[in-house]
Amino acid sequence: MKYIFILIFVCAANASHAQKYILLDKSISQPAFYSNTIPVSGKFKGYFPLEKKDIPKFLSALEEIAQRLSSKKIIGTPKQYVIGCAEFIGHAFPLASGERLDYVLTSSCADIKVSMHLVDAKLGNENNAYFVNTWIKYIKNAIKQPAN
């Protein structure tokens, strides 16, 4: 009888799934959290969903954008990224003092579409680089916390 309970416990443990998504607060005011589903209310509360398996590629793209924003000379069209269900759409605007970048980030995970203005060309590249670097730190801190 005890072996039957052990077998049931092992089967139940293997059937449980780890959280599939991480929900990131666009304004960095609330902690990120992991979830198996994306609640519709999360969209209206300002959360940006991302598949957990795509976090390293997502961070790499953010670091490339932050590096380009921090460089004094921005030349050429900005790189476009598609990472899992997230997409970065970038534009460059030439100015007399250089170029300014603009990136809109869109997630369409689980049939819920969420957009955020990651880099705004109305602001200087230094301010945008500061926000992107802060968001990178926020995400890195969130992934250090164990997913339930």
Task: Show me where the domains of the chain are located.
Answer: 2-144
Predicted local confidence at residue 148, as pLDDT: 54
- Which range of 8-12, 44-48, 71-75, 142-146 scores highest in mean pLDDT? It is 44-48
pTM (two decimals): 0.82
Find the range with the poorest average confidence among 32-41, 46-55, 79-88, 128-137.
32-41
Band of residue 110 on the pLDDT scale cut at 50, 70, 90:
confident
How far apart are alpha carbons 30 and 112 in whole angstroms?
A: 20
pLDDT at residue 40, rounded to an integer: 81
- Span 117-123, mean pLDDT? 95
* Helices 125-144, 55-70: inter-axial angle, 10-degree rounding: 160
CA–CA separation, 90 and 118 (whole Å): 10
